Amino acid sequence: MRKVLVFGAFDGLHIGHLDFFRQAKKFGDYLIVSVGTNKNVESFKGKAPLFSQAERLELVNELAIVDKAVLGAEDDFYGAIRGLSPDVICLGYDQWAAEEEVRRELDGVGLTKTKIVRLKPYKKSRAKSTIVKKNSVDF
């Protein structure tokens, strides 16, 4: 079985996220989604998520395409990745991580055979959380 790992906040799940999962699943048989903690989402994005880590984890876990959803590590990211031992890590088109840095860190924890793939955007101008949130209406 070939395991694929993706990461993200997944705050305000939308069609771009679903496309991201579909693209990633093409690289393996078992899709693991690591959902960012509240602390890390705020650190990376500069603001608190709209939904709690428990809510985002539950929502992602309910998706049929996702085989396993886990809460991301707060600090030892690559140690946590080693524990999941993915065959492939798929990065979103706009994720901060540079493939070279990820490769170096994976090699450092013994994941020398893990492949790294940068995925394509769904529709950059429409399916991005910041755009979806900006254009949403409160009910």
Catalytic residues: 45, 47
- How crowded is residue 29: how many other Cβ atoms within 10 Å of its Cβ? 11
In residues, how long is the chain? 139
Q: Where are the alpha helices (H) located in 1-139, listed in sequence order?
A: 15-25, 38-45, 53-61, 77-84, 99-108, 129-135
CA of 95: how far to CAs of 91, 92, 98, in Å?
A: 6, 5, 8
Classified as helix, coil or strand, 113 is coil
What the block records as the tokens of 18 is 């679903």
Distance CA 75, CA 121 (A): 28
